[in-house]
């Protein structure tokens, strides 16, 4: 029984490695780099919109120093 579970876990680990390699291959391509840049811009835009008051307060405090 233990051997079966070990084989299953090894197979899952190998599949996980293959998928990570495939994702990295895609993200390292020019399209993947543009995708990451676009997602980061969207995330920061949403963050700035949601935390507009906090950011403004921080800027005021920073300007005093």
Supply the pLDDT for residue 30.
95
CA atoms of 40 and 27, how far apart (whole Å): 13
pTM recorded for the entire structure: 0.59
Tokens of 55: 């950011």
- Among 51, 30, 26, which residue's Cα sits nearest to residue 18? 26
Tokens of 10: 């090894």
- Among 27, 47, 48, 44, which residue's Cα sits nearest to residue 36? 27
Local confidence band at 3 (pLDDT 50, 70, 90 cut-offs): confident
Over residues 7-48, the pLDDT tens digits come to 899 999 999 999 999 999 999 999 999 999 999 999 999 999
């Amino acid at each position: 029984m233990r051997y079966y579970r070990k084989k299953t876990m090894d197979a899952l680990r190998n599949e996980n490695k293959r998928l990570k390699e495939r994702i990295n291959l895609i993200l390292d391509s020019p399209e993947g780099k543009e995708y990451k840049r676009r997602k980061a811009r969207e995330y920061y835009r949403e963050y700035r919109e949601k935390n507009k008051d906090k950011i403004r307060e921080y800027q005021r405090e920073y300007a005093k120093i």
